Amino acid sequence: MLNQLCVITIKVTDLKSAVNFYTEVLDFKVPKHYEDKIVSLVHNDVPVVLEESADEKTGSNVLPGILSKNIESDFSKMREAGVKMLFENPQPCPPGRYFIIEDPSGNQIEIVEFSN
């Protein structure tokens, strides 16, 4: 079942200023840097990730992530249902694998399977 929110990704144009805003203004903490352009923030319920992206006009700037327990099966079901998908196959990411779909209004939703 794809009905559990597991992460929220916020796309930002300048990671350094975004981290400063989220930590200094909103009191989040940064427990982990995944890469030069991805930072995880401490949050009690759903993890929040800041991801630097130079292209702010493509897709959504806030990307909800839905938990998948079997990404291959969920990917196949979405494809068979005719859902608009941004990738030909699930892609690797720091915590596991993911793919992105669009709802009927064009809002992007990330489907994520954690490997650990």
pLDDT for the residue 58:
55
Domain ranges of the chain: 5-114
Q: What is the mean pLDDT of each run of 10 residues along the chain (116 residues)?
A: 87 90 86 89 83 69 91 94 94 94 86 90
Strand partners, 100: 110
Position 79 scores a pLDDT of 94
Domain covering 5-114 in this structure, CATH number = 3.10.180.10
The pLDDT, as a whole number, for residue 75 is: 96
For the chain, helix, strand, coil in percent to 5 are 20, 40, 40
Q: How far apart (Å, rounded) are the C-alpha atoms in residues 19 and 39? A: 8
pLDDT score, position 25: 78
Least Cα distance to 101 among 87, 113, 89, 80 occurs for 87
